Amino acid sequence: MAASKSNPQISLRPQDVVVLLRLCLDQEKPISYAALAKEVRMTASEVHASVKRSIAAQLIRKDSAGKPCVLIGPLKLFLQHGLRYCFPAGRGEMTRGMPTGYAAPPLAGKITAVNEPSPVWPDKNGTVRGMTLHPLYPSVPDAASNNPQLYELLVIVDAIRAGSPRERAIALEELDARLIS
């Protein structure tokens, strides 16, 4: 059935998760689309479109001043129950990159993998050799390397997308500790 003009189909994109996670970090401080775009390594128009999709998906609302505010409860539910089905983790070959999932903080000390190469985002500046875990969006390694808090959230999200049930459970606990409603 085709979508009507009053109720268009909403298709979240992987970059929307990146934008949502970044917006969660400083809910109290307004940030311009240009500044947000610079931080997540996207264009301002990509970030604006992302916010519009997230509003339509009921993951963001605009406050009285027009500033986008992430709805933490619905976002947590989406990350817990929908993320790995909407944006499954793609794996690849051994490469040099940036650690993610159980191999990076905050999960590195809590999960140990035996006889398995660490998951990494391919990155020419990476310091670890491991098995490719394709990031949600190509700019993720660069954005994460410049924002430690965002890096931790993206690592947690990767553990939810690609981890075993035990890894997902630990990742969800970490997510709950960081995203407080």
Domain range annotation of the chain: 14-84, 89-178
**Domain 14-84 classification at class level:** mainly alpha
From the CB of residue 129, how many other CB atoms can be counted at a distance below 10 Å? 12
Q: How many CA atoms lie within 13 A of 164 on its CB side?
A: 7
User: 61-88 burial by CB neighbour count: b if 16+ within 10 A, else e?
Assistant: eeeeeeebebbeebbbebbeeebbeebe
What are the tens digits of pLDDT across the range 27-79? 778 889 999 999 999 999 999 999 999 999 999 999 888 899 999 999 999 99
Longest distance between any two alpha carbons in the chain, whole Å:
53
Q: How far is it, in rounded angstroms, from Cα 172 to Cα 106?
A: 12
What are the tens digits of pLDDT across the range 138-157? 999 999 999 999 999 999 99
CA dihedral 136, 81, 75, 42 (to 10 degrees): 10
What are the tens digits of pLDDT across the range 82-99? 999 999 999 999 999 999
